[in-house]
Amino acid sequence: MSSGDKLFDRLLNRQTPTLSAVVDSPVVPGVGLQLHLDGEAQVTHLTGPLRHLLAQQLSTTRTPHLLDYLLPHSALAVEGLPADWQGQLLDLDFFSLAGPPLHLRGWVQPLGDGWVLQLLDIGDLLSERRQAHSREQCQWLAAQIRDHLRLCGLARLPQVLGEQLQCLSQRFQVPCLAVALLDEETEGWQIHQHYSAPDAPQLWDTAQRLGTGLDSLNGAAPQRVLPAEHPRLSSVFGPAEGFAVPYRDAHGVAAWLLFGCFSTQPHTADLNDHDWLQLAAAVAAPLLERLREHRHHLQLERLEILQSLLGTGWWEMFSDSAQVLLADALAVSLGLSAGRLPIQDWFARVHPADREELRSRLQALQDEGQPLELCVRLQPDDQAQPQWFRLQGQSLGIGAERRLVGFMLDISDIKNQQQQAAAAHARLDNLIASAPAVIYVQRYVEGALQPTFFSASLQPLLGWSLADCADGALVNHVHPEDRAAYFERTRQLLREGSVSTRYRMLDTQGNVHWLLDEAKLLRDDLGLPVEAVGLWLDVTDATLAAERIKTSEERYRILVEDSPAMICRYRPDLTLTFGNRPLAMYLECAPEQLPGVNLGSWMSNEQREAFVERLAQLTPDAPVSSAEINLRLPGREHAWWIWSDRGVFDEHGRLLEVQAVGRDNTEVRRSQQQLTQSAKMATLGEMATGLAHEINQPLNVMRMAIVNVLKRLSNGDVQIDYLTDKLNRIDAQVQRAARVVDHMRVFGRRSEIEQHPFNPLDAIEGTLSLLSEGLRGKGVELRIGEANFQVQVRGYVDQLEQVLINLMVNARDALLSKRESNRDFQPWIGVRAEHDEHVVRLWVEDNGGGIEPRLLERIFEPFFTTKPVGVGTGLGLSVSYGIVENMGGRLSVRNGDDGARFCIELPIALDDQITSVARPD
């Protein structure tokens, strides 16, 4: 064997060289690395091309030792002296100037008085072995995943998929893993299943929609995803780095294997694109196959259930065969043991009355391709009563390959219902013919109702026939004075769907009959009128008696029914026993429908409790009470009534009934609300400049922070702490501007309909959030008194803010006007709150010098203003006064030592008036 062969065998580690072989090996100075050693393993000389790559670990003045060049773990291979190493094949790792260690294999042999360590570079061999091992492991892992997903049951598929994703996560140290499949509904991608390590962030949720961002990637190879380079994938990976591996089938990319918070790290550097694609195929291919299998299984189950529930199924006949093939569910419903039977046996089960027609229609379908649609009766084995089936079919193919395919639907229930309906119709005809009332049917034709049927009782009652009432002649038999009522009856019937009315009809002899007409309109499934069904009942005697009673009650009717006021009677539980027409009009019902209706059903729970509590305070000595009530009426948002009650008591002082009179006050209240809202919007307009300053201030701070960060970035001097501080500052300013905008939007809304308990300190806080920065920007000092209490008042927190804003804006304008004439003037506005046992007081004062005494009495009058023409509307203080008064409080003003002092006094809400929701913690 040549020296070259021996050297190659040593490199491949085929055998352990003997002592003589090592000694006989020559020293090759031009190959690899030679270290000349003395007997103590001191390096005396280096030769070979690799010597320039070595890095000595220790820099000393002494002669370097062999260990000074070796990595620590290689020291075990060269323990002792060079004489001890002779005959051994040594694998050593050296420090390298390039960074990565040098992997060398060699042997020691004597040379003169010393030793020479002959070494060759085996880094490429180790790298190839490592890569081959990694690929073998990857192939084995892919095969294991594929087998687990293919062999598990459909019920365990999600669990097994989760286990395999966990296995991949642990094998490659991936924090987050997910499988994304194509969503057929949105044509985008969707997370089918994911896995996150215990300490990893939650990047995805199951069934999360990812959109179409993944389509922007190259679907042919794995791709590393960086947030800055792929902004469209922010919905997939967020701000984290990711790695996406596609799976392609015959239709293109069908799935993605997503690696979140992960890049191709050094421990996966031995895997190439083919290995990653193999892993993605191992997960996605069996998963898609099993999902398609599951969908197909579900479709079969649904089809079988549908056929069994409907009693239907498919049938098929072949032209070259005299047999019929039936669906399993259909064969079971017919009591057949098999789904294939001779065609003659099938015809034998058809009822004789239907057999020949079915045979003829099947022949026409076979010869001419005419579609088959026929209802036939079939006789099952286990039933004496035949079943009705709807049979439909069509032909497929041509010539000898033609097949007849169709379905059969069990319609026995429908046929039975038709027979029962026919019998019921016959009984109804008999009943109608013998009924004392006249039953009629009117068909809806082009907006009019035309008679199409009258029962036989019409002739004995009026002497008319259907022909005498056709073509619009019916109205000629209506009494001339009642024809308008008849036309209104028709319009009401078409509008409301039912009607009950009375009018007079003339018989053939000219006699008058009072008829009670009760009818109902029938509509189709689209809501369009079809016909009206009703009856006429002769109520002539009852009507004449009622008219006599009506004449005796005419005065009472004129007083009550024709009164513009709402008049009613109701029991203590608010159930109406009588109501006149104005009340019925407001409640959108007929007066006769009012008895039994509960008046409290149009009130909120709070309004109803207050109403009942007011009634409980009525006594025989003080039986009258008045109040304004709020109701939610049909077709209206809200209504306000001025309501006066008078109680009726028995001899024991127990309330039996309440008589009430009311009038509508809705327009007045709405005008007040509109005035309040207009004043609020005017206030917002006056605050626009201050609010712009309030929002511009954080914008300027954010702009300065961004400029500083950009300057640092351009200089390359960026620290994480500096960036974090700037971003936190920007976030704080964004939140500050958002709070101002949100509160301005809330303040600009319309007030709630009903008053609610609230803490007046919340109104002060909201007012300051809108005005404080603007006032300071104009040089006005704010002096806010310390207050921290939890008492509550009833009213509207936004309207109280409006009052405070009006007072502070008026004070600001007065102060700024005074400063124009006195530049040394230092304006301030003070706000403080206090309370005692019954009242909360809010004070707003300034140092503007006060209000002229002669104007103090007129300051709350509407349209009174001291501002120049075109500046003030004169409504601010007037509306504010009305708001506070509506909340049960009082707004007053007086001059203090430095200026005007406005005081808002509000009564503290009693504990039983605070609901559980509004009660403070």
For 57-101, the pLDDT digits (tens) are 655 557 788 888 888 877 777 888 888 888 888 888 888 887 788
Can you tell me the distance from the alpha carbon of 409 to that of 307, in angstroms, rounded to the nearest whole number?
A: 9
For 305-358, the pLDDT digits (tens) are 776 666 677 888 876 667 888 887 777 777 777 778 888 888 888 888 888 888
Q: Identify each DSSP E strand in 412-511 by its residue range.
A: 438-445, 448-454, 498-506
Q: Which domains does the chain have, with CATH numbers?
A: 3-121 (3.30.450), 129-295 (3.30.450.40), 325-382+393-410 (no CATH), 425-535 (3.30.450.20), 553-662 (3.30.450.20), 673-913 (3.30.565.10)
The torsion of the CA quartet 780, 785, 787, 793, rounded to 10 degrees, works out to: -70
Provide mean pLDDT across the span 533-546. Answer: 85
For 198-213, the pLDDT digits (tens) are 888 888 888 888 888 8
pTM of the model: 0.37
For 268-311, the pLDDT digits (tens) are 666 788 888 888 888 888 988 888 888 888 887 777 777 666 66
Provide mean pLDDT across the span 636-643. Answer: 76
Can you tell me the distance from the alpha carbon of 40 to that of 463, in angstroms, rounded to the nearest whole number?
A: 145
Over the Cα atoms of the chain, what is R_g? 49
Place of tokens 């085929």: 14
Can you tell me the distance from the alpha carbon of 592 to that of 124, in angstroms, rounded to the nearest whole number?
A: 104
Pairing state between β 781-784 and 655-664: unpaired
Which helix (H) or strand (E) segment holds residue 275: the answer is helix 273-310
Strand partners, 341: 324
Residue 71 φ/ψ, nearest 5 degrees = -70, 155
Provide mean pLDDT across the span 791-804. Answer: 85
Residue 119 φ/ψ, nearest 5 degrees = -130, 145
For the chain, how far is it from start to end, CA to CA, in angstroms?
97
Can you tell me the distance from the alpha carbon of 715 to that of 493, in angstroms, rounded to the nearest whole number?
A: 84
Can you tell me the distance from the alpha carbon of 369 to that of 399, in angstroms, rounded to the nearest whole number?
A: 11
b/e string for 340-355 if b means 16 or more Cβ within 10 A? ebeeeebeebbeeebe
Cβ contacts of 752 within 8 Å, gap of 6 or more: 796
- pLDDT on residue 500: 92
Q: Helix/strand/coil (H, E, C) string of 108-157?
A: EEEECCEEEEEEEECHHHHHHHHHHHHHHHHHHHHHHHHHHHHHCCHHHH
For 775-789, the pLDDT digits (tens) are 887 888 988 888 888
Q: Tell me the pLDDT band of 906, cut-offs 50, 70 and 90.
A: very high
The DSSP secondary structure of 151-199, one letter per residue, reads HS-GGGHHHHHHHHHHHHHHHHT-SEEEEEEEETTTTEEEEEEEEE-TT
Joined tokens for residue 609? 């409790």
Q: Tell me the pLDDT band of 871, cut-offs 50, 70 and 90.
A: very low
Can you tell me the distance from the alpha carbon of 560 to that of 579, in angstroms, rounded to the nearest whole number?
A: 9
Q: Whose CA is closest to 879, among 829, 793, 805?
A: 805
- pLDDT on residue 796: 80
Distances (CA, A) of 596 to 635, 680, 733: 21, 43, 61
Cβ contacts of 373 within 8 Å, gap of 6 or more: 390, 391, 392
Instruction: Report helix, strand or coil for 511.
Output: coil
The torsion of the CA quartet 505, 509, 510, 515, rounded to 10 degrees, works out to: -20
Q: Tell me the pLDDT band of 8, cut-offs 50, 70 and 90.
A: very low
- Amino acid identity at 40: E
Percent of the residues in the chain that have a pLDDT greater than 70, as a whole number: 80
Mean pLDDT lowest for which of 464-473, 498-507, 672-681, 720-729?
672-681
**Does pLDDT of 912 surpass 80?**
no
Cβ contacts of 525 within 8 Å, gap of 6 or more: none
Helices (runs of H) and strands (runs of E) counted in the chain: 25, 34
Which helix (H) or strand (E) segment holds residue 359: the answer is helix 352-368
Pairing state between β 340-342 and 372-378: unpaired
For 453-507, the pLDDT digits (tens) are 888 888 888 888 888 888 888 888 899 999 999 999 999 999 999 999 999 999 9
pLDDT greater at residue 546 or residue 101: 101
Mean pLDDT lowest for which of 62-71, 427-436, 594-603?
427-436
Cβ contacts of 349 within 8 Å, gap of 6 or more: 334, 378, 379, 380
Place of tokens 């929701």: 917
Can you tell me the distance from the alpha carbon of 114 to that of 677, in angstroms, rounded to the nearest whole number?
A: 106
Q: Whose CA is closest to 124, among 100, 146, 103, 97?
A: 103
